[in-house]
């Protein structure tokens, strides 16, 4: 087996494990996530581009990553004065919808010449 084939197989197995454990929600709805993102827009922007310097940009970020971080804030595994309060009342479905919304935003980058 070539290194390329091994890498592809490894990625497939990782994705399959996320799906099997429910780490990626089935039926995440970006449109519902957009509605929920209204509460996020002050810091992260409805478009996912942060409005304050201490907040990260979320536009185009991986759904898996956003879900993991929101669940960590909700459980207390990760702590932030604002995010811990915001995330504690989110359901798994709401977290998945928010993550799907921010992942669905397409961003582009232009390299300087």
Return mean pLDDT, the chain: 86
| C-beta atoms surrounding 104 within 10 Å | 16
Nearest one of 21, 80, 33, 90 to 59, comparing CA atoms: 33
Q: Is the pLDDT of residue 6 over 90?
A: no
Tell me, what's the pLDDT at 14?
53
Q: Return the H-helix or E-strand segment holding 14.
A: helix 3-21
Q: Is the pLDDT of residue 72 over 70?
A: yes
Tell me, what's the pLDDT at 43?
96
Q: Is the pLDDT of residue 93 over 50?
A: yes
Q: Is the pLDDT of residue 112 over 50?
A: yes
For 16-64, the pLDDT digits (tens) are 444 444 445 569 999 999 999 999 999 999 899 999 999 999 999 999 9
Answer positive or negative: Cα dihedral of 47, 50, 55, 61. Answer: positive
The full set of domains in the chain, from first to last, is: 27-104 (1.10.760.10)
Decide: residue 32, CB within 10 A, 0-12 exposed, 13-18 middle, 19+ buried: middle
Using 50, 70 and 90 to split pLDDT, how confident is the model at 97? very high
């Amino acid at each position: 087996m070539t290194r390329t084939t091994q890498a592809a197989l490894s990625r497939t197995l990782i994705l399959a494990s996320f799906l099997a454990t429910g780490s990626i929600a089935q039926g995440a709805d970006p449109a519902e996530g957009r509605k929920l993102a209204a509460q996020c827009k002050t810091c992260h922007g409805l478009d996912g581009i942060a409005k304050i310097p201490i907040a990260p940009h979320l536009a185009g970020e991986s759904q898996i990553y956003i879900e993991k971080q929101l669940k960590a804030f909700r459980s207390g595994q990760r702590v932030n004065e604002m995010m811990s309060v915001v995330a504690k009342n989110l359901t798994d479905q709401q977290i998945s919808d928010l993550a799907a919304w921010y992942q669905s935003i397409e961003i582009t980058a232009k390299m300087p010449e």
